[in-house]
Amino acid sequence: MHFDELLNIVGEFGRFQKIRLFLICLFGAVCAFHAMNMVFVGAKPEYKCSVSNFNLSDSVYGNITEKEIHTFLLEQGSCEIYSSDDTIKLLSSGNYTPDQIRSNNISISTEKCDNWIYSREVYGPTIVTQFDLICDNDWLRSTSKTLYFFGRLLGAVIFGQLSDIFGRKPMLFVNLFLLLVAGCVASASPSFFVFIPFYILQGASQTGLFLVAYTMGTELVGPSYRLHAGFLVQSAYSVGFMTLSIVAYLIRDWRYIELAITLPVILFIPYYWLLPESIRWLLSKNQKEKAQEIIRKVAKINKVEIKEEMLEEMTSEQNNTIQTDKKHTILDLCRPKMLLLSLNVWFNWLINAMVYYGLTLGTDNLGGDPYINFCIAGAVEIPSYILCMLLLNRLGRKKPLFVSMVIGGGACIASGFVDSVTPKIILAMLGKFCITASYAIIYLMAAEVFPTVVRNIGMGVSSMCARIGGMLSPQILELSIIWGPLPLVLFGGLSILAGGLALFLPETAGKPLPQTIEDATDENRKKYRKKGTEMDVFLEKEGDQKYANGKA
C-alpha cells in the first residue's frame, strides 16, 4: 500500500493536518519579516552635508546670510562641498558675492564631506544613517544586500542537505535558534563590520527555516491538498510581507525593527511537542516504528480507525521501493535522466527570484509613501495565490506557469517604456501579481518533481539558485544608469524565456509524490494519464485507486 493511499483512508487533510499546517504557516510570516527587512533596515534617506556655522556679525560677510553661504558650499552635492577656507577668502576680499562667483565661473577647490544630516521625514535611523553608508561607502550598502542574499544561498544549500540527512524537525529548531541569535546580535551591532556576519547568518537561517517548513507542509497532506498546503504557506509569507510595512512604519528605528521581528521566534518553542517529524522522511529512512506511531496519532485525531495490517503493508512496501541504505547527494540530481529536469527547475527559480526581488526592491521608485507601496506589493500577492489555488488543479501546473511568466514579463517590458505614474504602477503591480503566481507554482512543482530521498536537496539547490537571482537583481537595477528601461527589459525578457522552458517540465498535478530517483524519471509518470494506460496499471499496483480511476 502506497503512503498516499493510506492518507486517503486516515484523511488527506483532516483535523490533524489542518492544525499542524496552520502552525507551519506561522513560520512563513516570520520568514517574510527577515527576508524583506532590508527594504527598511537598509533604507537610504535623503541627506546633505553638515557644514560649519559662521559668525554673521563679522563685517567681512556684509549682507550675505548664513543660509546663502551654506547653499553655496553645498552646490557640489552631498558628498563634496566647496572649500570653506577658499570661499571665506573670496567673500572676505569684498570683491565677490556667491552670485558673482557663479556667474564668473571662478574655480574653487572642493573637499570631501565627513559629516551628514539625514532626513527623518520618511525613514528613521537605518544602517545607512548609523554607519554612514553613503558617498565613498555607498558600495557597502549595496554589498550588504548582496551578502544577505549570499547568506540565504548558504542556508538553502546547507540546510537543504542537512534536513534530508537528520530530518525536517531538528533543522526547524536549529534554524529558529540561529535566527534568534543572529537577529538579536545584529540589532545591537556597534559597527557595520560586526553587523554584516550576523546579517549573513540571519539570511541563512531564514532561508533554511522557510525551506524546511514549506517541505514539511507539502509532505504533511495528501496529493489532493498539496496545492492548498503550498499556497497557504506562501500566503502566510505575504501576510508577513504586509505586516512588516506596518511594523517598520510604527517603529522606524532599524535596531528596534530587528528586535520586533526576531523576538517572536521564542513563541515557537512549544512546536517541539506540537509538530511531528515528516512521515514521508521517516519512511524514506526506514524508521517504520516512528512513522507508524505518528500515523496512529493522525488516525486518532482525525477519528478514523486503521488496521495494523495496513501499517505493516505500507511500511513493508516502502522498504521495497526505497533504498534506505544508500546515501543520496546532489549527484543523484545530475543523473542523465534527471539533469535536464533539474536544470530547468533551477533556472526557473533563478529567474523568478530575480524578477520578484527586482520588483519588490524597486517599490520605493513608484512615488508616494514607500510604506504604502510596500504594503500594496505584498497585498497583491494574496489574490495571486487565490487564483492559483482555484485554477492549478483544473489546468495543471505547466500551462499556468507559462502564461503567468509571459504576461508578467510583458508587463515588465511595457512598464519600462511608460513615463506616466499611474500606468507605470498598474503595469508594475500586474508584473508583481504574475511573477508571484509563477514563483509559487515553480516552488510547488519543485516539491512535487524531486523525489522524497533528495527532495530537500533539490529544493535546497533550487533555493540556492533563487538566492543567486536575488543577488543579481540589485545589480541589474543599477543598469538603469546605462539606459532607463534596461532593468525592466531584462527582467521581462528572461521571464518570457524561462516560461517557455517551463513547458518542457513534467506535469505534476494529481500525481503521487515520487519516492525514489527511479520514480521521478519514470516516463509513465510524466505523461497525462488516461484510463486503461500503463499508468493505470502502475497506480493500481501501487494501490492508489483514486488516481487509477481517473478522479484526480
Dump pLDDT digits (tens) for 281-330: 888 887 888 888 888 888 888 888 877 777 777 666 555 554 445 666 77
Q: Has residue 37 been placed in a domain?
A: no
Given pLDDT bands bounded at 50, 70 and 90, which one contains residue 548?
very low
In a domain, 97, yes or no: yes
**pLDDT for the residue 56:** 45
| The pLDDT of residue 547 | 29
Query: What is the three-class DSSP state of 117?
Result: strand
Average pLDDT for 351-365? 81
Judgement on whether residues 492 and 376 belong to the same structural domain of the protein: yes
The percentage of the chain sitting over the pLDDT mark of 90, rounded to a whole number, equals 21
Higher pLDDT, 186 or 214: 186
Q: Does residue 328 fall inside a structural domain? A: no
Can you give the pLDDT at residue 546? Answer: 35
Q: Is the pLDDT of residue 180 over 90?
A: yes
CATH classification of the domain holding 263: 1.20.1250.20
Residue 229 lies in a domain: yes
- Judged against a pLDDT cut of 80, whether residue 5 lies above it is answered with no
Place 75 in a pLDDT band, splitting at 50, 70 and 90: low
Lowest mean pLDDT among 442-446, 459-463, 543-547: 543-547
In this structure, the answer to whether residues 238 and 292 fall within a common structural domain is: yes
115-163 pLDDT, tens per residue?
A: 888 888 888 999 998 998 888 888 888 788 888 888 888 887 788 778 8
For residues 175 and 280, state if they share a domain.
yes
Mean pLDDT of 354-378: 79
Residue 67 placed within a domain: yes
Residue 325 falls inside a structural domain:
no
Is the predicted pLDDT of residue 543 greater than 60, yes or no?
A: no
Distance, CA of 404 to CA of 383 (rounded, Å): 14
Does residue 288 share a domain with residue 351? Answer: no
Most confident of the following: 165-169, 177-181, 275-279 = 177-181
Span 521-531, pLDDT tens digits: 664 444 434 33
Residue 80: exposure state from Cβ atoms within 10 A (0-12, 13-18, ≥19): middle
- Residue 445 vs residue 527, higher pLDDT: 445
User: Comparing 290 with 107, which gets the higher pLDDT?
Assistant: 290
Closest CA to 41 of 195, 181, 265: 195
Distance CA 271, CA 282 (A): 18
Examine the domain organization and report whether 146 and 231 are in the same domain. Answer: yes
pLDDT exceeds 80 at position 62: no
Give, as one character, the DSSP assignment of residue 483: -
**pLDDT (0 to 100) of residue 320:** 52
Task: List the grid coordinates of 84.
Answer: 570653506
Q: What is the 3-state secondary structure (H, E, C) of 57-80?
A: CCHHHCCCCHHHHHHHHHHHCCCE
d(CA 147, CA 182): 14
Q: Are 124 and 253 in contact (CB under 8 A)?
A: yes
Nearest CA to 88 out of 105, 104, 66 is that of: 66
Q: What was the pLDDT predicted at 108?
A: 74
Interval 25-34 mean pLDDT: 90
Number of neighbours of residue 212 by Cβ within 10 angstroms? 30
Residue 119: what are its φ and ψ, rounded to 5°? -70, 135
Domain that holds residue 298: 1-31+130-317
In tens, the pLDDT along 88-97 reads 666 666 566 6
Distances (CA, A) of 1 to 95, 193, 275: 98, 56, 25
Residues 3 and 111 in one domain: no
Give the C-alpha separation, 108 to 78, whole Å: 17
pLDDT number for residue 550: 30
Q: What is residue 534's predicted lDDT score, i.e. its pLDDT? A: 36
On whether both 25 and 153 belong to a single domain, the answer is yes
User: Are both 409 and 388 inside the same structural domain?
Assistant: yes
The three cell numbers of residue 422 are 499611474
* Residue 25 pLDDT > 80: yes
Q: What is the mean pLDDT of residues 231-241?
A: 86
One domain for residues 492 and 429: yes
Count of the separate structural domains present in the chain: 4
**Residue 402 clears pLDDT 80, i.e. is over it:** yes
Rounded to whole angstroms, how far apart are CA atoms 463 and 207? 8
Please tell me whether residues 298 and 371 are part of one structural domain.
no
Quick count: other Cβ atoms within 10 Å of Cβ 467?
Answer: 27
CA distance 121 to 190: 25
CA distance 469 to 434: 17
Looking at the fold, whether 423 and 473 belong to one and the same domain comes out as: yes
pLDDT of residue 58 exceeding 60: no
Of the residues 71, 87, 118, which one is the last residue of a structural domain?
118
3-state secondary structure of 49: strand
Q: How many CA atoms lie within 13 A of 194 on its CB side?
A: 11
Q: Examine the fold and report which residue of 317, 352, 370 is the final residue of a domain before the chain moves on.
A: 317
* DSSP collapsed to 3 states, 129-145: HHHCCCHHHHHHHHHHH
Residue 540 pLDDT greater than 80, yes or no: no
> 174 and 224 share a domain?
yes
pLDDT of res. 361: 74
Give the sign of the dihedral formed by CA 102, CA 105, CA 108, CA 113.
positive
Query: Which tens digits make up the pLDDT trace of 255-282?
Result: 999 999 999 999 999 999 988 888 888 8
- The overall average pLDDT reported for the chain is 79
Cell 530521498 appears where? Answer: 453
**Does 469 or 76 have the greater pLDDT score?**
469
Examine residue 187 and state whether it is found in any structural domain, yes or no.
yes
Of the three residues 263, 284, 317, the one that is the final residue of a domain is: 317
**Domain membership flag for residue 82:** yes
How many angstroms separate the CA atoms of 203 and 42, rounded? 14
Q: Which residues are within 8 A (CB) of 476 and not within 5 positions of it... i.e. 6 or more apart?
A: 354, 358, 487, 490, 491
Q: What is the mean pLDDT of residues 362-376?
A: 74
